[in-house]
Amino acid sequence: MVVASPTQIHGEKLLAIELPVIDLSGERSMVSNLIVKACEEYGFFKVKNHGVPHDIIAKMENESFNFFAKTFDEKQKAGLANSFGYGCKNIGFNGDTGEVEYLLFNTNPLSIAERSKTISNDPTEFRLNHYPPMPILCKNKDSSSPCNHNKVGFGEHSDPQILTILRSNDVGGLQISLNDGAWVPVTPDPTAFCVNVGDLLQAMTNGRFVSVRHKALTNSYKSRMSMAYFAAPPLNARIAVPPEMVTPIKPALYRPFSWAEFKKAAFALRLGDSRLGLFMMEVDEQVA
Binding residues for Fe ion, rule: CB under 5 A, are 159
174 binds, among ligand AKG, Fe ion, none (CB under 5 to 8 A by kind): ligand AKG
Of residues 132 and 251, the one with the C-beta less far from ligand AKG: 132
Q: What is the DSSP letter of 43?
A: S
Residue 10: CB atoms within 10 A of its CB come to 7
Of residues 174 and 241, the one with the C-beta less far from ligand AKG: 174
Q: What CA–CA distance (Å, rounded) separates 164 from 152?
A: 20
210 binds, among Fe ion, ligand AKG, none (CB under 5 to 8 A by kind): none
Contact 182, 5 (CB under 8 A): no
> Is 224 one of the catalytic residues?
yes
CB of 157 to ligand AKG, least distance (A): 7
**Interaction site with ligand AKG (CB under 6 A):** 127, 129, 154, 159, 166, 168, 174, 214, 216, 226, 228
Residue 98: CB atoms within 10 A of its CB come to 21
CB of 266 to ligand AKG, least distance (A): 12
Of residues 206 and 213, the one with the C-beta less far from ligand AKG: 213
Contact 136, 195 (CB under 8 A): no
CB of 257 to ligand AKG, least distance (A): 21
Of residues 95 and 248, the one with the C-beta less far from ligand AKG: 95
Of residues 209 and 252, the one with the C-beta less far from Fe ion: 209
Strands 44-48 and 21-23: parallel
Contact 155, 195 (CB under 8 A): no
Phi-psi region for residue 61, left (φ > 0), alpha (ψ -120 to 50) or beta? alpha
202 binds, among ligand AKG, Fe ion, none (CB under 5 to 8 A by kind): none
CB of 195 to Fe ion, least distance (A): 12
CB of 127 to Fe ion, least distance (A): 9
Of residues 184 and 228, the one with the C-beta less far from ligand AKG: 228
Per-residue burial over 65-77, b = 16 or more CB atoms within 10 Å of its CB, e = otherwise: eebbeeeeeebee
127 binds, among Fe ion, ligand AKG, none (CB under 5 to 8 A by kind): ligand AKG
167 binds, among ligand AKG, Fe ion, none (CB under 5 to 8 A by kind): none
Q: What CA–CA distance (Å, rounded) separates 22 from 39?
A: 12
Of 111, 130, 116, residue with least CA distance to 60: 130
Q: What is the maximal distance between C-alpha atoms in the chain?
A: 64
Of 139, 279, 137, 165, residue with least CA distance to 228: 165
CA distances from 277 to 26, 41, 149, 176, 287 (A): 37, 20, 34, 20, 18
- Annotated catalytic residue, options 167, 213, 224, 275: 224
CB of 117 to ligand AKG, least distance (A): 26
Residue nearest to ligand AKG (CB): 226
152 binds, among Fe ion, ligand AKG, none (CB under 5 to 8 A by kind): none
- Residues identified as active-site: 224
